[in-house]
Amino acid sequence: MTKLADRIRGCIFGGVIGDALGGPFEGQRGPIQFVEPAHSSISDDSQLTLATCESIIAAGKVSPEQIAERFLHWYRARRISGVGASTLKALRDLDAGQHWALAGAKGEMAAGNGAAMRIAPLAFLLDPDDAGERMLIRDVCRITHHNEEAYAGALAIVKAIRSLAFGDSSPPDLLQTVLPSLPD
């Protein structure tokens, strides 16, 4: 197995494990109490990350249209649970036949972290410093989140993962690496 393949697997597995362990604490305020792993499960964020991976493998490239189709396939197969309002609206719109670029909530109603939570696979395939690939990242975000803040959050994740995976950065200087490349 190649070093890159190990990094990709580590990133995806680490994200899924973090999602499962952190999920029970979502929205919790005050002191956090440890929950036994048996009570943990992955959220729609991990489910959509895995659907994104499936789409990329099947298409051989990053394609918003193919990713949206894979999301719809998972939705119809009831393989996605616990979705947020923006993602649910997008999935229902896709199910009704709406084009992926037009589906879902827009503006403040689409501000959320769902796009950032499922964007990790793109970090190994797309360079956010390339204008065309950056637009592709934005399009993939817009499948469920038509919001510039949601896109900026996803872009930050792509940039951070690339910086760490390809040796351009280290955790202590990650913010200084990522922040200059984000939109206002």
Instruction: Give the pLDDT confidence of 18-40 residue by residue, as tens digits.
Output: 988 888 777 778 776 665 655 66
- What pLDDT was estimated at residue 38? 57
Q: Is 48 left (phi over 0), alpha (psi -120 to 50) or beta?
A: alpha
Helix (H, G, I), strand (E, B) or coil at 179: helix
| Percent of the chain residues past pLDDT 70, beyond the cut | 94
Kindly list the domain boundaries of the chain, sorted by start residue. Answer: 3-21+38-168
Range from 5-9, 105-109, 165-169 carrying the lowest mean pLDDT: 165-169
- What pLDDT was estimated at residue 8? 94
Secondary structure (DSSP) of 49-110: HHHHHHHHHHHSS--HHHHHHHHHHHHHTT---S--HHHHHHHHHHHTT--TTT-S-BGGGG
Count Cβ neighbours within 10 Å for each residue of 119-128 and write b for 16 or more, e otherwise. Answer: bbbbbbebeb
Does domain 3-21+38-168 fall under CATH 1.10.4080.10? My reply is yes
- What pLDDT was estimated at residue 108? 87
Question: What's the distance, CA 177 to chain centroid?
Answer: 20
pLDDT (tens digit per residue) in 75-133: 999 999 989 899 999 999 999 999 999 998 898 888 888 999 999 999 999 999 999 99
Range from 36-40, 42-46, 68-72, 78-82 carrying the lowest mean pLDDT: 36-40
- What pLDDT was estimated at residue 156? 94
1 pLDDT more than 70: no
Which comes out higher in pLDDT, residue 176 or 132? 132
Type of residue numbered 47: Q
- What pLDDT was estimated at residue 46? 95
Range from 4-13, 24-33, 41-50 carrying the lowest mean pLDDT: 24-33
Average pLDDT over residues 144-150: 94
Residue 169's alpha-carbon distances to 109, 164, 179, in angstroms, are: 34, 5, 13
- What pLDDT was estimated at residue 34? 63
Give the helix/strand (H/E) hosting 164.
Answer: helix 148-165
